Amino acid sequence: MGAWPLFRFRGIRVFLHWSWILVAVYHINTGKGEYPHIGWDIGEYLALFGIVLVHEFGHAFATRQVGGIAERILLWPLGGIAFVQTPPRAGAYLWGIAAGPLVNVVLWPVLWLITSQFSDPFNFFATCPRVPNTYSLLNPLGTPEAWPLFLHHIFWINTILLIFNLVPAYPLDGGQIFRGILWFFVGPMKSLLIAAWTGLILGGAAMIFVLIKFQSIWMAIMLGLIVQQSWMAISRVREWSRQMRGQ
């Protein structure tokens, strides 16, 4: 698997993929200069994956609650993966998926409350002026003050992760929630097919958009994985259909 074991919690083993270190070093170094010390950049990146980790534990614990199996979580550069086996019931599947974003929903008012003690989370620079041409904040003594900026970033990391995960594009949580709702009406295979085609179309269109508009290779890679996973799901449904016709 190319991953290192980190710890075990409630019988769930957490692994870190080796490539996470490389991407972490790249992002931390490209972010230098925003804080007065690189330690803040490291802390922000660790906070990002702390949020991702509790999100994945949400999936895992909810899956166990409905009688499923959850024994492993993998952290890698594009987020986290909770390896779960949910009972083949629409309600169980839907709860196992929805519990992840619900963790971010619970975190949102907590982070908003903490951040708002130092600045307006939605109008940051109006309440915390910055030095021209830098992001370094100054307290009345003129020394760098990083707490407001750090908390502001953590608040928006959680907010963006929540919004991104709720996009109805398979295999994102939003796409799987969409599938879980459809499951009640059209069954497991057809719901997966509809959700996967939706993810393929949305992911493909978004990938083209970010390449043309923003020239963002990193975002294009993430969206390309959505397209790839959606196509794999479509292929699985087609294979299942062939097997059922052959019986």
Q: Which residues are catalytic?
A: 56
Judge residue 30's burial from the number of C-beta atoms within 10 Å of its C-beta, 0-12 exposed, 13-18 middle, 19 or more buried.
exposed
Tell me the DSSP string of 128-150. S-B-TTS--BB-TTSSB--HHHH
Q: How far is CA 241 from the centre of its chain?
A: 32
Side chain identity at residue 102, one-letter code: L
Tell me the DSSP string of 153-220. HHHHHHHHHHHHHTSS-TTSHHHHHHHHHHHHHH-HHHHHHHHHHHHHHHHHHHHHHHHHHT--HHHH
